[in-house]
Amino acid sequence: MSFTTSDVNDWTRSDIYHNSFLISPDATLDSTLKLSEQNGLPPYAVSAAQGKFLYLLAKSIQAHRILEVGTLGGYSTIWFAKALPPDGEIITCEISEHYAKVAQQNIDHAGLTSRVKILLGPAIDTLSRLHSDETFDLAFIDADKQSNVDYFIQAKRLVRNQGVIIVDNVVRSGRVADPIQSDPSIDGVRRLLQYIQNDSTVEATTMGTVGEKGYDGFLFAINKPR
Ligand code: DHB
Ligand code: MG
């Protein structure tokens, strides 16, 4: 193995190695990915290591209420739901009825039905209908990247003072930082970065990641005390 260059095969091997010590095999999470694939959902769930990282983050702030934008098959939803106390709740927004049905099956199969509420429809409509007194400890934004700024503004409104907002896929193999590249997702991430640069109400950083899902990153933000 070379240490001067590496690719997704090396990163996957490394994920598998570390996971073998740190992440117990979980038949329910495996079957979530399997049912998602069988139903034609795109392979955009977070990796196991990222899912456990999100779970640990939620636990570290003792999150009771989590907001998710983009349910897909419910893989990250299930990781978050496992981090919640029995009276905790995750509200997750999904635009696709088909994805939401698959996710609901996965959540039911995981025994987490009572802790998860899937809200079907365009997330921007769903979020604008939520009252700001329905305070969340953490928001995870992982949907269409063009709408990142709109989702982020809603998440800021709905997350408590000092609460956490995480945005997935903000590095995109480094393409976000490459001036000759452009597509709606890249541009959606760039608009979010520009928005946060001029926003004095949050503190944020991007944490790049490599692993079985390639080279990408999370944006991590905290609502400053108001
Ligand atoms: C894409 C979306 C995601 O949320 C992800 O984690 C990876 C890829 C995409 O739309 O390409
Ligand atoms: Mg994602």
Strand order through the sheet with 202-211: 116-120, 89-94, 65-69, 136-141, 159-167, 214-223, 202-211
Ligand nearest to the CA of residue 219, numbered in listed order: 2
**In this predicted structure, what is the pLDDT of residue 2?**
54
Tell me which residue has its CA closest to atom 2 in ligand 1: 44
When the pLDDT of each residue in the chain is averaged and rounded to a whole number, the result is 96
Contacts of 132 (CB under 8 A, 6+ apart): 157, 158
Topology classification of domain 8-223: Rossmann fold (3.40.50)
Tracing tokens 């007194």 back to the chain, one arrives at: 133
**What does the pLDDT look like over 74-113, one tens digit per residue?**
999 999 999 999 999 999 999 999 999 999 999 999 999 9
CA-nearest residue for atom 9, ligand 1, is 44
% of the chain surpassing 70 pLDDT: 98
Q: How is residue 137 written in tokens?
A: 């400890």
Cα→Cα distances 116→17, 39, 86, Å: 31, 21, 11
Expressed in angstroms and rounded, the spacing between residue 157 Cα and the centre of ligand 2 is 22
The ligand minimizing its distance to the Cα of 168 is 2
Integer Cα distance of 110 and 81 in angstroms: 10
pLDDT digits (tens, 9 = 90+) for 167-196: 999 999 999 999 999 999 999 999 999 999
Give the confidence band of 142 by pLDDT, cuts at 50, 70, 90: very high
Instruction: Render pLDDT for 46-66 as a digit per residue (tens, 0 to 9).
Output: 999 999 999 999 999 999 999
> Buried b vs exposed e over 138-167: b needs ≥16 C-beta within 10 Å?
bbbbbbbbebbbbbbbbbbebbeeebbbbb
Handedness of CA 16, 20, 25, 29 (dihedral sign): negative
Q: What is the pTM of this model?
A: 0.97
d(CA 88, CA 81): 8
**What is the predicted pLDDT for the residue at 3?**
60
Query: H-type helices in 71-178, by residue range?
Result: 75-83, 97-109, 123-129, 148-158
Distance between Cα 113 and ligand 1 center (Å): 25
